[in-house]
Chains A and B, each alone.
Chain A
Amino acid sequence: MLVGNDIVDLRDPENQPDAIHPRFDARVFTWTERARILAAGSPHRVRWALWAAKESAYKVARKLDSRVCFSPRAFTVRIPGGETEDRDPFLAEVSHVLGRFQVCLEGTDEWIHAVASLSGAGIAKAGWELRSLGRAAARHVPGQEASALVRQLARSAVATALSVVPSDLDISAAAKRVPRVFWRGKALSADLSFSHHGRFVACAWGRVTLR
């Protein structure tokens, strides 16, 4: 079961409405999505929720077909009736030529996190974990450090999900830098996705078993 995730630090100075390029929304969002942003009580939050939905779905799409290009407007976000971005978590559906992706979004005033999968059942079986790096990381966490932190987070979270000790698990990059999980040296079939932005790292994993 494939998963993709994306974390957005809503307080990142570079993400603020006056910092992004004036044509950012037109480049990234469809007319319908832009109308939703404009009509929202918190346009900033909705902008990045829609972005995270697209990005997380893109990560799943890339696992399906490595030739997929990140063309943000080609990943169209629909929030089904009854769901609104004011709820937490809320569900969205992302359509692309490759198919439809189900996305669960949740967040606070500080961050928004999206987890995508190919079906609602996939989302129901997925797990995810998020960690704040603290205020010291507000500007920049070195890439290697963030990468190590998110792997550490994933190891701990997946170990809890499997009821095993974290030291028996290893998270390492396999082909095409896709992270894989190993238990006592044996590759498990669980799919993983990592994300880092600003003060936060987050990981998501598909249904995982020791078999």
Chain B
Amino acid sequence: MSRDETYAKVMEIIGRYAKNKDALEGASEDTNILEDLKVNSARLVDVILDFEDEFDIEVADEDADAVNTVGDAVSLIEAKLG
């Protein structure tokens, strides 16, 4: 799977929970998931669980805690997929 394909799937998942739809439209890999897209901390748990389901991976809390931006999420998933 290419990085662009992973990015598209990540954005599709995050988009379900983003409160700030305007920021979502202009999002990039540098976009902060909590602060810019206004995904709250409880919904971030759902986002991580959706990543696990979509990509068939396991994400430890320590790894999830290091995800701040969309790019962090894409890089984490790419690392898990090897």
Complexed CA–CA distance, A71 and B38 (Å): 20
Return A10 CB to nearest CB of chain B, in Å. Answer: 12
- Complex partner residue of A71 from B17, B19, B43, B62, CB under 8 angstroms: B62
B47 — nearest CB in chain A belongs to which residue? A21
Q: In terms of DSSP, what is the predominant structure of the interface of chain B?
A: helix
Return B25 CB to nearest CB of chain A, in Å. Answer: 14
In contact, A74 and B61 (Cβ under 8 angstroms): yes
Is there a chain A Cβ closer than 8 Å to B35's Cβ?
yes
- Complex partner residue of B42 from A51, A71, A73, CB under 8 angstroms: A51
Write the A100-117 contact mask toward B (1 if CB under 8 angstroms, else 0).
000000000000000000
**Range class of the A interface residue count:** 20 to 34
Contact residues of A between 113 and 164, Cβ < 8 Å to B: 139-140, 142-143
Residue ranges of B at the interface with A (Cβ–Cβ < 8 Å) = 17, 19-21, 35, 38, 40-43, 45-46, 48-50, 61-62, 65
Given contacts A15-B42, A23-B49, 11 further A-B contacts (CB under 8 A): A20-B42, A21-B45, A21-B46, A24-B46, A24-B49, A51-B42, A139-B19, A140-B19, A140-B38, A142-B20, A143-B20
